[in-house]
C-alpha cells in the first residue's frame, strides 16, 4: 500500500475510533493500539508533509502556534437572547408568540443553557473549515486550530449533509476537568480559576493549541444553519446534527405548549446539577423554522426565543470551624466546616474559605451565619456574613503562624495568596501528596498503586519518596501480611511498578511534583535538555529561556535542583532504571554558524513563533538565555517587545536585530 492510501486509511480509522470513544463511550481498541496508529500517522505526515490534511487526527493534540488571531465576519449574526427569571415573563412571551403567529398552532423546543463559550463552526463538504468565537455578534476571532483539539467535535461530518453547514454551539470545560485543574493550581499556590466558563474562554485564547488540548475542552451543538431551507423545524435540525456525529446534549425536549415548558423547567431545576457541565437556565425556542421567520428579530435578539435563568444557588448556614489543609507544595488552604445545608441539590458541609486576605476582608468568625453560593462554581464558597445574626460569642479567626501538620513556621512569599509550610523534606502531608501525585494517571500511572494505596503505604512507613516505591518488590513478604491486600493484588501492583520504568521521561519529570512544573512545561524541558542531569546542571537564567518556562518556573526548578535530597532522589530513580533521559538520538546540528553566540528573543514575530526561532538558533550552534547582560551577543526583537529589555540592551550596547536579520545569519543552502 502506498503512503497516500495508508495515510487515508489511518485517518479514517482514527476518526472512527475517536467518535466511538468520545461520543459513544466505546473503546474498540486498547490505548496502546490507538497510540501506535496515531504515531504511524504522525510519522507518515512528517515523511510526506504534502499529504497531511488540516483535519488530520494528529491535530487533536495541538501544536499549532497562533501569534495573532484573525477575525472573520459571521454569515448569520450571533444574536443574544432576552433573559428572564420570572415565569410570569414566560407567559407574556408565550402570549406575544401567539399574537405574532395569529393563532396558528406552534410548539417549543427547550434546551439547557450551558455555561460556556459560544462558538460558530463552518463545515465545507463535510470537513471542519473554520471555528469563530461569538465576538461582538457580527465578527469574532478565528480559533480553528484550537477547536480542532476538542475531542468530541467531529473533524468530518458523517452521512449525507449539505455542502455548507454552520454549527452553533457551546465550548465548555467539564466540571471534573475544572476541579482537577484548580486542584493542581491550588497545590502550586497559583490563583484559582473563577469558574469553568472563564477557564474555557481563557483556553480558547491560548496561542499554542497543544496547551488548549491539555485543557480537555468539550462542545455541545445547539443550532444548525444552512443556505436555503434543509429543515422544517429546529428539532429536525438537532436530530440531523446528531446523525452527522455532532455532540448534541440529549437533554433537549420538544414541548407542545407553555405548560410542558414550565414542567421541563421545574424538572431540571435540580437535575441540572447532575450534568457534567454547568447550566444557568433553559433556552426556549419556537420549533417551526418558518414560524421563526414570521416572528422575526429585534435589533438585539430573536422574538422566537427566550432564556429562563435559574436564580443563583445560595444558602445560609452556621460556620462551625476552619480546618487548614497542607498541599503538595506546602500551601496551607483554609476549609470551612458548616452546619449541613441543602444547596443546589446536594447537602453541603464544607466550603472554600479562600485565603487569609479574604477571611480578613469578610471579618469571618467562628459561629457566624454565612452565605454560601455555588452559582457558576463547582466548589461551594463563602460569599458573605449575616452580621445581623452574629452571636455575641463569635470568635475572630486567627490564621495559624505554624504548619498544622509539622509545626514549622509558615511563610508567605510576596505576591502569593496562601501561606506555605517551607518544610519540604519532612512535612507529612506534603510528602504524602507528592507520592500520590507521582503515581497519578498523568504521571507514572502505576497500575495497582493508586492514591489511596500509596497513601496507606506512607502511613505505614513503607514509602516516603517516589524512589521508595521501587524497593517494594524486595518487600513482597511484608506486603502479604497487610490487610485487604491479597497475593494477586500485590503481584499486579509489583507488575505495575516494573512497567512504570518504561514511562517516558517527560511524565517522570512531571511526576516529581516540582512546583510550577506542569505537564506542558515538563514536555518542553524534556525535549530541550533530554535528561534530568542536564536540567539540574542548568542555571535559572538558562532554564528561563526554554519555551513555556520563564522566570518563576525556572527559579523554582533551580531551587529544587540545588537540594541534596533532589540529587539523592534522582540517583535512586536512575539506579531503579526509571526513565530520566529521553530515549533515541538527539537531533543533529544543522551547522555551527552560531557557535559561541547567545541570544535573547522578545516580542511576537511575523514568520516564526518564538519557539521555532529558538530551535533554529540551537540547531545552528547558538545558545538561548532569558536575561540580558554584557556577555549577550544579540537581542532579537519582535513586535510588542518589552521596553525594559530594549533599554537594558541599549545600556549594555548589545546589538538589537530583527527576525529577518537573525535569519540572515543562518546558512542559505
Cβ neighbours, 10 Å, residue 266 = 11
| Residue 117, helix vs strand vs coil | strand
Question: Do the Cβ atoms of 637 and 603 come closer than 8 Å?
Answer: yes
Q: Convert 450-513 into a string of H (helix), E (strand) and C (coil).
A: CHHHHHHHHHCCCCCCHHHHCCHHHHHHHHHCCCCCCHHHHHHHHHHHHHHCCCCHHHHHHHCC
CB burial class (10 A; 0-12, 13-18, 19+) of residue 474? exposed
Cell of 237: 435540525
Q: Cell for 197?
A: 466558563
d(CA 246, CA 238): 9
Sign of CA dihedral 637, 641, 644, 645: negative
d(CA 570, CA 467): 8
In degrees to the nearest 10, what's the CA dihedral of 616, 617, 621, 627? -150
For residue 605, CA distances in Å to 80, 145, 208, 574, 624 come to: 36, 19, 14, 40, 16
592: which DSSP letter?
S
Q: Is 309 a catalytic residue?
A: no
Inter-CA distances, 140 with 198, 199, 488, 588, 606, Å: 17, 19, 57, 42, 22
Task: Specify the DSSP class assigned to residue 375.
Answer: T
3-state secondary structure of 156: strand
Cα torsion through 203, 204, 209, 210, rounded to 10? 20
CB-CB contact of 536 with 570 (8 Å): yes
Q: Could you give the residue ranges of the DSSP H alpha helices within 296-450?
A: 356-362, 428-438
Residue 479 C-alpha cell reads as: 506486603
What lies within 8 Å, CB to CB, of 92 at 6+ separation is none
Measure the CA–CA gap between 283 and 93, rounded to whole angstroms.
13
The number of residues making up the chain comes to 669
Q: What is the 8-class DSSP label of residue 325?
A: E
Rounded Cα distance, 79 and 296, in Å: 12
Rg (C-alpha) for the chain, rounded Å, is 28
d(CA 42, CA 49): 10
Question: Which entry of 113, 374, 381, 524 is annotated as an active-site residue?
Answer: 113
Residues 6+ apart with CB under 8 A from 124: 163, 164
Detail the DSSP E strand segments found in 610-650.
623-624, 634-637
Alpha carbons within 13 A on the beta-carbon side of 592: 2
Which residue, among 428, 494, 497, has the nearest Cα to 458 in the 3D structure?
Answer: 428
d(CA 467, CA 210): 31
Q: Measured between alpha carbons, how far is 77 from 129 in angstroms, rounded to an integer?
A: 18
Please give the positions annotated as active site. Answer: 113
Amino acid at each position: 500500500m502506498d503512503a497516500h492510501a495508508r495515510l487515508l486509511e489511518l485517518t479514517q480509522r482514527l476518526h472512527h475510533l475517536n467518535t466511538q470513544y468520545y461520543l459513544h463511550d466505546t473503546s474498540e481498541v486498547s490505548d496502546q493500539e490507538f497510540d501506535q496508529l496515531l504515531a504511524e500517522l504522525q510519522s507518515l505526515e512528517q515523511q510526506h508533509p504534502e499529504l497531511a490534511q488540516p483535519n488530520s487526527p494528529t491535530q487533536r493534540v495541538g501544536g499549532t502556534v497562533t501569534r495573532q488571531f484573525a477575525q472573520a465576519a459571521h454569515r448569520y449574526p450571533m444574536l443574544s437572547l432576552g433573559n428572564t427569571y420570572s415565569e410570569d415573563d414566560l407567559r407574556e412571551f408565550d402570549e406575544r408568540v401567539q399574537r405574532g403567529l395569529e393563532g396558528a398552532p406552534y410548539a417549543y423546543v427547550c434546551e439547557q443553557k450551558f455555561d460556556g463559550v459560544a462558538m460558530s463552526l463552518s463545515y465545507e463538504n463535510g470537513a471542519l473549515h473554520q471555528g469563530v468565537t461569538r465576538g461582538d455578534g457580527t465578527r469574532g476571532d478565528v480559533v480553528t486550530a484550537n477547536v480542532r483539539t476538542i475531542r468530541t467535535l467531529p473533524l468530518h461530518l458523517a452521512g449525507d449533509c449539505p455542502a455548507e453547514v454552520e454549527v452553533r454551539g457551546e465550548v465548555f470545560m467539564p466540571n471534573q476537568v475544572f476541579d482537577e485543574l484548580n486542584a493542581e493550581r491550588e497545590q502550586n499556590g497559583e490563583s484559582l480559576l473563577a469558574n469553568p466558563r472563564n477557564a474555557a474562554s481563557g483556553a480558547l485564547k491560548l496561542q499554542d493549541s497543544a496547551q488548549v488540548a491539555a485543557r480537555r475542552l468539550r462542545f455541545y451543538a445547539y443550532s444548525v444553519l444552512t443556505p436555503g431551507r434543509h429543515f422544517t423545524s429546529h428539532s429536525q435540525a438537532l436530530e440531523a446534527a446528531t446523525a452527522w456525529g455532532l455532540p448534541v446534549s440529549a437533554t433537549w425536549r420538544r414541548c407542545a405548549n407553555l405548560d410542558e415548558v414550565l414542567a421541563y423547567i421545574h424538572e431540571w431545576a435540580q437535575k441540572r446539577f447532575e450534568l457534567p457541565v454547568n447550566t444557568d437556565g433553559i433556552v426556549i425556542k419556537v420549533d417551526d423554522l418558518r414560524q421563526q421567520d414570521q416572528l422575526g428579530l429585534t435589533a438585539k435578539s430573536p422574538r422566537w426565543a427566550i432564556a429562563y435563568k435559574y436564580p443563583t444557588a445560595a444558602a445560609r448556614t452556621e460556620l462551625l470551624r476552619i480546618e487548614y489543609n497542607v498541599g503538595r507544595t506546602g500551601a496551607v488552604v483554609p476549609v470551612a466546616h458548616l452546619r449541613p445545608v441543602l444547596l443546589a441539590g446536594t447537602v453541603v458541609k464544607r466550603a472554600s474559605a479562600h485565603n487569609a486576605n479574604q477571611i480578613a476582608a469578610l471579618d469571618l468568625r467562628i459561629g457566624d451565619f454565612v452565605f454560601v453560593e455555588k452559582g457558576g462554581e463547582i466548589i461551594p464558597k463563602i460569599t458573605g456574613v449575616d452580621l445581623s445574626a452574629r452571636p455575641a460569642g463569635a470568635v475572630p479567626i486567627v490564621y495559624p503562624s505554624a504548619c498544622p501538620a509539622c509545626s514549622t513556621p509558615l511563610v508567605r512569599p510576596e505576591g502569593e495568596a496562601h501561606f506555605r509550610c517551607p518544610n519540604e523534606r519532612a512535612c507529612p502531608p506534603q510528602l504524602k501528596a507528592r507520592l500520590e501525585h507521582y503515581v497519578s494517571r498523568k504521571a507514572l500511572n502505576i497500575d495497582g498503586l493508586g492514591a489511596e494505596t500509596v497513601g496507606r503505604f506512607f502511613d505505614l512507613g513503607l514509602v516516603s519518596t517516589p524512589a521508595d516505591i521501587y524497593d517494594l518488590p524486595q518487600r513482597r513478604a511484608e506486603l502479604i501480611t497487610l490487610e485487604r491486600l491479597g497475593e494477586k493484588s500485590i503481584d499486579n501492583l509489583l507488575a505495575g511498578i516494573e512497567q512504570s520504568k518504561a514511562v517516558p521521561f517527560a511524565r517522570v519529570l512531571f511526576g516529581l511534583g516540582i512546583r510550577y512544573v506542569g505537564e506542558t512545561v515538563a514536555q518542553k524541558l524534556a525535549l530541550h535538555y533530554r535528561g534530568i542531569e542536564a536540567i539540574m546542571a542548568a542555571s535559572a537564567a538558562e532554564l528561563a529561556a526554554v519555551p513555556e518556562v520563564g522566570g518563576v518556573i525556572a527559579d523554582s526548578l533551580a531551587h529544587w535542583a540545588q537540594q541534596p535530597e533532589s540529587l539523592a532522589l534522582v540517583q535512586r530513580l536512575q539506579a531503579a532504571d526509571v526513565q530520566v533521559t529521553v530515549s533515541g538520538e538527539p537531533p543533529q546540528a544543522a551547522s555551527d554558524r552560531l557557535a559561541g553566540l547567545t541570544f535573547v528573543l522578545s516580542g511576537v514575530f511575523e514568520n516564526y513563533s518564538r519557539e521555532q526561532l529558538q530551535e533554529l538558533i540551537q540547531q545552528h550552534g547558538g545558545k538561548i538565555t532569558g536575561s540580558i547582560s554584557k556577555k549577550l551577543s544579540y537581542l532579537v526583537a519582535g513586535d510588542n517587545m518589552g521596553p525594559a529589555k530594549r533599554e537594558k540592551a541599549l545600556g549594555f550596547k548589545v546589538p538589537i536585530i530583527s527576525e529577518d536579520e537573525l535569519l540572515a545569519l543562518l546558512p542559505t543552502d
